[in-house]
Amino acid sequence: TTDLCGLRADALYREDAGKPVRKSHENPAIKLIYSEFLGEPNSHKAHELLHTTYTKKSRY
């Protein structure tokens, strides 16, 4: 049988290996957002804007 999950994982790793920016903390756009707007990682503003919460919703 064909291991589709394994083939997909291999393809994703190969695709990722060719990218110039592979880690979010090295992304120039993310660095700019933090330096000009959010401040430090895990700052109050970063936490307030980037983190989510879960609220259970009733069905109808």
Q: How confident is the model at residue 60, as a pLDDT?
A: 80
How would residue 59 be classed by pLDDT, with cut points 50, 70 and 90?
Answer: confident
Domain borders along the chain are 24-60
Average pLDDT over residues 43-53: 94
Using the CB atoms, write b or e for 5-25: b if 16+ within 10 Å.
eeeeeeeeeeeeeeeeeeeee
Of residues 2 and 21, the one with the higher pLDDT is 21
pLDDT > 70 fraction of the chain, expressed in percent and rounded: 98
